[in-house]
Structure 1
Amino acid sequence: MNKTNERFHNLLALFDTLRLEGSITQAELKDRMQLQASTVSYLVNDLRHKGLVVNSKKNIQSVKVGKPGQLLELDNEYAYFLGLYLEETFIDAHIIGIADVEIFSQRIPLEEGSPSELPNQIIKIIENLRSLYGNIRGVGIAVKSVVDRKGNISSFKRTYMATEGPRVWSIEGFSTIIRNAFEDLLIVIENDANCAATYCQAITKHIHGNFMTVLVNNNPFGIGCGLVVNDKLFRGGNGAAGEIFFTDRTIQNLIEQQKNGHAPTEIIRLLKDAIVKGIYMMDPEVVYLSGSLFSHTDDETHQEILQTFKGLPYPIHILVEAHYSLPAKGAVLLAVDEYISDLIATMDRR
């Protein structure tokens, strides 16, 4: 690796460490990144010069003898990012700073209308939030659709119950319409389960390099699977990796008919065979169950769900945050990653 590429990767690693830890001393960064103190100092100064790194106002807690070091952190106000999770009847919106501190969240009902009207509704939401938060530099959108390796989709499918039965909307050119409306904004569009896996990776601080996230939502019902391999989101050759439920007609009927009346434990039992097949195919270190199906269930129900997989030689954990939409937050992380990568690539060596 040449010096330019080495510096680029070190700056990215420094940014990632600061985002994961929240606040950390330069000495701790040296130990964490396994670099020389002088190298870390140069890297910190580069990001500080750009305005990304500031001294933290938090009090340091140290048991070491001597003067404690200065805590460093990312300046959350440097840039905001908007995360949107598109569901059938609503959009979860989250505005999060570059340091991964949330500024705003709202569940926005979707108006009924024709398929062609949905992109315009999304555009209006983005325009409205940009008018309130002018520091938004990028938008991450989590969609219930396969997204190709370049981040493009040819359609966005929206399944909902109409009077005549379940209907599926197909919106051609969805991603192009959104991108063309905001040429000055970074737009990242990704499958919702992949976004959820990205967020699980962040909140567990990358402790597992190979894992599987099963996303199960209710009201409206939806399922998906995101894979992380060698600490990287694995999309496959065409962006469809993790579509373990696609070939099961029984599960597809649940989606199309929007069976929201099933109890959480019953739904997991219906999904169990497909999940287990996916687990043995991937051989992950750990499996995370996430999504709104688990957000409002009690500990007893969580234990009943986990008992469904009793005897399986893989650890399975339920990972939820009631207040947050995991796909929306994961979409923000993906947008931030692309934004900071582009930013660091243009930084001159001082």
Structure 2
Amino acid sequence: MENNFIINENEKRVLKQIFNNSNISRTQISKNLELNKATISNILNNLKHKRLVNEVGEGNSTKSGGRKPILLEINQKYGYYISMDLTYDSVELMYNYFDATILKQDSYELKDKNVSSILQILESNINVSERYDTLHGLLGISISIHGIVDDEQNIINLPFHKNKRSTFTDELKSFTNVPVVIENEANLSALYEKSLYINSNINNLITLSIHKGIGAGIIINKKLYRGSNGEAGEIGKTLVSESINDNDNKYYKIEDICSQDALIQKINNRLGVTLTFTELIQYYNEGNSIVAREIEQFINKMAVLIHNLNTQFNPDAIYINCPLINELPNILDEIKKQFSYFSQASPIQIHLTTNVKQATLLGGTLAIMQKTLNINNIQMNIK
């Protein structure tokens, strides 16, 4: 990272104010940080010299008159970030300017499950010399995986891909020459959701990610809880004794019973067909009795799962990230009803994730922004 990106603690405090309060005046920053105006002016001059912030015009003067305040914003063209979501069958890329504004998105189908193939896709499609009309070009990359990452950024478990390279992050760094952060996708979704409520009374929240597997991103006292080795939130690995087949008394992972993919597979088995996700939605809307019955059971299992999460963590809110529920929002209403039967004394909020399709990628952008700036609790204003 270039030297002009190095900022001291007071500069970080002021920069955070501008990130979290669009078009803020130096007077308001002075009040918020309880620093005198001369000190703030000196800090802002340094930030402007480093091209990190811009003046964007004048605000309204006070009732008593006087000079109109100069408003400030983050210089989005300082550089850009790339966030990557490694899904079961694709690599999703999001490019974001320095202020997190989305620059563009790309999607690449995975031909196989080898991590080496993923690196080939990235090396072929990420042009690290491309600046996209920014001052410093690529500043950092985040990687979202549906697996476990330890505190040293090592991939401990990558269930849906063949990971023969234990140095995936190092391989990526070697050709991009920028900082890289790697994190579990549910954790990144939780970071994004937390950033939207920094100034609210929501201190503890869980994002419940329901796709091929089931994972939870856990925020406790406004901080991400990862556990001792990054395995916190792997609730899909919880063992249950419910049978999948008749006369079968074995234990199964809960995600093998009631994840979105497990639901689709069960419906396909009962119908004797192979429905796409879109066709499943169509069958449900047309009133297919088998689909309706299986989704009813899915609703009940989700309500129980949320009840169990609530008894363990008792968060202020739970946010569900599930494409099926996003397409059929009435499912969420039914889950809430079922949950109320189990947890009558626990009036927690249950919502759909604010941005189901982009929450993980935006959380990745936030993670790499905070890493490169060494600033925590940046508020992301993208919904």
TM-score interval (norm. to shorter): 0.7 to 0.9
Cα deviation digits, residues 204-248 of structure 1 (max 9, x gap): 344246322323344xx2321112223222212111122233223
Q: TM-score, normalised by structure 2?
A: 0.73
Aligned to 1:225: 216
Equivalence map 1:29-40=2 (5 Å)? 29-40=29-40
Aligned to 1:109: 109
Q: 1:280 to 1:142 in 2, by over 3 A?
A: same
Aligned to 1:318: 352
User: Does the 8 Å contact 1:85/1:141 carry over to 2?
Assistant: yes
Cα deviation digits, residues 314-335 of structure 1 (max 9, x gap): 222222325x421111111111
Q: Which amino acid aligns with 2:148?
A: V
Cα deviation digits, residues 88-126 of structure 1 (max 9, x gap): 11122111112121111233322235454233233333x
Equivalence map 1:16-27=2 (5 Å)? 16-27=16-27
Give the distance between the partners of 1:242 and 1:155, measured in 2 at CA.
14
SS at match of 2:28: helix
Aligned residues: 321
Q: TM-score, normalised by structure 1?
A: 0.79
Aligned to 1:80: 80
Q: 1:44 to 1:189 in 2, by over 3 A?
A: same
Q: Tell me how far 1:175 sits from its aligned partner.
A: 2.6
Cα deviation digits, residues 173-213 of structure 1 (max 9, x gap): 15345335336111110110110011111223442463223
Q: Tell me how far 1:341 sits from its aligned partner.
A: 2.0
Give the distance between the partners of 2:180 and 2:116, measured in 1 at CA.
20
1:140 aligns with 2:142: yes
User: Does the 8 Å contact 2:95/2:103 carry over to 1?
Assistant: yes
Aligned to 2:187: 194
Aligned to 2:315: 284
Aligned to 1:334: 367
Q: 1:143 to 1:208 in 2, by over 3 A?
A: farther
1:269 aligns with 2:262: no
Q: Tell me how far 1:74 sits from its aligned partner.
A: 0.4
Query: What runs of 5+ residues in structure 1 fail to find an aligned partner?
Result: 1-6, 159-167, 343-350
Equivalence map 1:143-222=2 (5 Å)? 143-158=145-160, 169-182=162-175, 184-208=177-201, 210-218=203-211, 221-222=212-213
Bigger drift between 98-107 and 109-118 goes to 109-118
Cα deviation digits, residues 35-63 of structure 1 (max 9, x gap): 33333333322322211011125x64677
Question: Percent identical across equivalent pairs?
Answer: 23
User: Does the 8 Å contact 1:295/1:320 carry over to 2?
Assistant: no
Aligned to 1:239: 230
User: Does the 8 Å contact 1:119/1:177 carry over to 2?
Assistant: no
User: Does the 8 Å contact 1:147/1:189 carry over to 2?
Assistant: yes
User: Does the 8 Å contact 1:140/1:332 carry over to 2?
Assistant: yes
Q: 1:143 to 1:11 in 2, by over 3 A?
A: same
Give the distance between the partners of 1:294 and 1:28, measured in 2 at CA.
41
Give the distance between the partners of 2:297 and 2:9, measured in 1 at CA.
46
**Which among 312, 335, 355 is matched to residue 305 of structure 1?**
335
SS at match of 1:321: coil
SS at match of 2:104: strand
Hey, which bits of structure 1, 4+ residues long, moved more than 6 A? Answer: 262-265
CA RMSD of aligned residues (A): 3.0
Give the distance between the partners of 2:260 and 2:322, measured in 1 at CA.
19
Q: 1:267 to 1:216 in 2, by over 3 A?
A: farther
Q: Tell me how far 1:296 sits from its aligned partner.
A: 2.9
Q: 1:243 to 1:266 in 2, by over 3 A?
A: same
Give the distance between the partners of 1:103 and 1:84, measured in 2 at CA.
14
User: Does the 8 Å contact 1:244/1:275 carry over to 2?
Assistant: no
Q: Which amino acid aligns with 1:225?
A: A
Q: 1:27 to 1:142 in 2, by over 3 A?
A: same
Bigger drift between 30-39 and 91-100 goes to 30-39
Q: Which amino acid aligns with 2:109?
A: P
Give the distance between the partners of 1:141 and 1:152, measured in 2 at CA.
12
Bigger drift between 20-29 and 97-106 goes to 20-29
Q: Tell me how far 1:131 sits from its aligned partner.
A: 4.1
